[in-house]
Every structure is written in C-alpha cells, then in structure tokens.
Amino acid sequence: MEKIKLGVVFGGKSSEYSVSLHSAASLLRNIPNKYELHLIGITPQGKWYYVPKHDFDAIEHDHWLNEECCEVVLGLGGEKCLMLLNDEHEKIQIDVIFPCLHGKNGEDGTVQGYLELAQIPYVGCGVLSSSASMDKEFTHILCESAQVPCAPYICVHDYETCDSALYEKAVSKLGLPIFIKPCNAGSSYGISKVRNEAEFLKGMQEAFKHDTKVLCEKAIDGFEIGCAVMGNHDLIIGECDEIDTHKDFFDFAAKYDLDDTQIYCPARINAAASARAKEMAQTVYRTMNCSGMARVDMFVCKDGSIIFNELNTIPGFTATSRYPSMMKAIGLSFSEVIDRLIQCALNK
C-alpha cells in the first residue's frame, strides 16, 4: 500500500520559532511509519525551504538549514504539490500537511490561507477559526456571546495614549492586580502582572512590542487548568490538567522549563468540576468553529466556578507537552494522537 505523503512545516517568522523546532522534532520522532515524510522549514526571516535530510536533532537544535536545502513554494494550481525553486523546478506531490508552527505567521490563519489556496488538506483549525482564536479580544467577544464566562477586560490599541488616565480607567473596571497581554502572541511573550501605575505603564510598553493592541484583564483568584479537544464533528475530549506554579503566572520559563512549576494530569479537581470544565472546553471549541485540535485553558476560582481564559489552536507538541499528555491520560499514545489528527485533516 502506498504511503500517505505528509508534509511537516516547522520554524516560522515568529517569536515562537524555537518552540516550533522543539515541537516539530518531537512530532517527527513519533509519526507512524504509514506516512512518507517531506519536511519544510521556514526561517525566522520567512523563507521556505525543502529539507531533504531527516535529521530531527538538527531541527531541534536549529542546525537544519544547509546547502542541501532548496527554496520551495506551494503549487497553487490544485496539483497538491511542493515546487522546488531549483533548475529542474521539481514537483513533489503532497497529500496532507501538518503545520507544526506556533504564534504569528503560523497559528493565526496566514499559513492556513496559503494551504487553502494550494488546495492541500492540513491538520488543525481553518483560516477564520485560527485567526479569531489567536486574537484574544475576538475570542472574548465570541465566547461571551455564547454565554461562556470570561474575565472582565478592556482592549487598548497602539494609537491610544497610555497614561495615568488609562491606568485609572483600567483599575476602575478591573481592580488590581491586572494582567496585560498582547492580543496576538503566544508562549506568554509580552505578558505581565501589574499592581501599580509604574508597572502598568511598563507592562503596556512591553506588550506593544508584540502586537498593535493589548488586553488588560482582571486577575482571577484561582488556578489554571486546561483541556485538550480533538476532532471535526465527533469530538474526543482529553483529560483536564492543572498548572501549579509559584510564579506570578505561567510564563515562558514555567511553560518550557517547568521553573518553580508542576503540572498535574489529571487535574486535582472533583469529578463534577472536571465534567463542567470539559463541557466548557467543548462549547468554546464549537463556538470558535475549531476543527482538528485545540487546547482550551480555563481558571478554577475559589468558589468552584470555572472561567474561560484562552484557546490554543496549535498547542505545544513535544511528547511531554500538555496536549499529548491530556490525550495520553485517556489512553491515546502520542503516535495515535498524531495519526488521528492527520486523519481528521484528510476527512474534513
């Protein structure tokens, strides 16, 4: 039986370039043998290369780009192919693509749109779902319209003045402390927890380095949980996990080095709370028109209520990342998760 020709795209013009390399290397080491691999690397400058050598360690440690690589584009004539920009203009047929990309220019609908134009099936959410889910303000608006409980917030654009008046407005609506987040960024880049005006102004300045609009959000008194969801029509709901961190919040070091942080899967919540969290995760997934996969992050408050936090349409994908771990807790191995996601893409 002929193998399915699978393209895996990694890297990307994003602040999360290095995170993508780690995810991709782990993904590639666990792809079932039924797939014929074709690797596409995107540099931090945005150039696409076909990578003929399958050296997963080189990908993980950012040594993948060498003289054997060739610039590549997707064929846009419905041929479902990669077009190598070499003297022969070689074409390589592709059945499906797994975009192992995080953050801007990868998780935000841009690459998904390119794949739609190329008419190549791909793993994960579609263009609109990816774009809206990446934008924290739009996610809030859509989920609140579906009566999903969310933290109170205000959104600030870069053309607005960040001064004492804005600080007073934020405190009046949200109280203290306040979380400041770029609307379109991941891996906790540009996020800060502020408790006074000086921290607020500094936090806004830092957040605007990552996006043109920033979310100021009420700090929730509770702890964070997540829930993995997979599927197009019939959904598979993973186990909930729990983040136990002694830091101000689940920042980059906590996420990727588990600095002063521990993750419990299953989450240390009772069966009723777990069921409510899974129901909320499914509601958010449907509201945002997700397909393939997503990780839904929530807070459990001290009174036991659950509040939606945010949505990740291409979550971290190492063997020990939260999404695979939550699926492993319901009996799906990492390889099985990868296989099912690819089949979801082919069956859209």
pLDDT in tens, the chain (348 residues): 799 999 999 999 998 999 999 999 999 999 999 999 999 999 999 999 999 999 999 999 999 999 999 999 999 989 999 999 998 889 999 999 999 999 999 999 999 999 999 999 999 999 999 999 999 999 999 999 999 999 999 999 999 999 999 999 999 999 999 999 999 976 577 899 999 999 999 999 999 999 999 999 999 999 999 999 999 999 999 999 999 977 564 444 444 455 677 999 999 999 999 999 999 999 999 999 999 999 999 999 999 999 999 999 999 998 789 999 999 999 999 999 999 999 999 998
Give the pairing of strands 306-312 and 292-301. antiparallel
> In the chain, what are the domains?
4-122 (3.40.50.20), 132-147+221-346 (3.30.470.20), 153-218 (3.30.1490.20)
pLDDT of residue 246: 73
pLDDT of residue 187: 58
Coil, helix or strand at residue 334: helix
pLDDT of residue 186: 65
- Greatest Cα-to-Cα distance within the chain, rounded to the nearest angstrom: 67
Residue with tokens 């609140």: 144
Q: Please write down the HEC assignment for all residues of 59-110.
A: HHCCCCCCCCCEEEEECCCCCCEEEECCCCCCEEECCEEEEECCCCCCCCCH
**In the sheet where 261-264 sits, what is the strand order?**
261-264, 236-245, 222-231, 292-301, 306-312
Cut 0.85: pTM above it: yes
Q: Which has the closest alpha carbon to 241: 220, 219, 269?
A: 269
The count of other CB atoms within 10 Å of the CB of residue 96 is: 22
Rounded distance between C-alpha atoms, residue 100 and residue 260, angstroms: 27
Q: Which has the closest alpha carbon to 126: 146, 107, 103, 145?
A: 107
Rounded distance between C-alpha atoms, residue 261 and residue 59, angstroms: 27
Across 184-206, b (16+ Cβ under 10 Å) vs e yields bbbbbbbbbbbeeeebbbebbeb
Rounded distance between C-alpha atoms, residue 247 and residue 311, angstroms: 21
pLDDT of residue 248: 60
- Please count the CA atoms within 13 angstroms of the CA of 29 that sit on its side-chain side: 15
Distance of CA 75 to the CA centre of its chain: 26
Rounded distance between C-alpha atoms, residue 265 and residue 77, angstroms: 45
pLDDT of residue 256: 44
pLDDT of residue 258: 57
Beta bridge partners of 192: 180
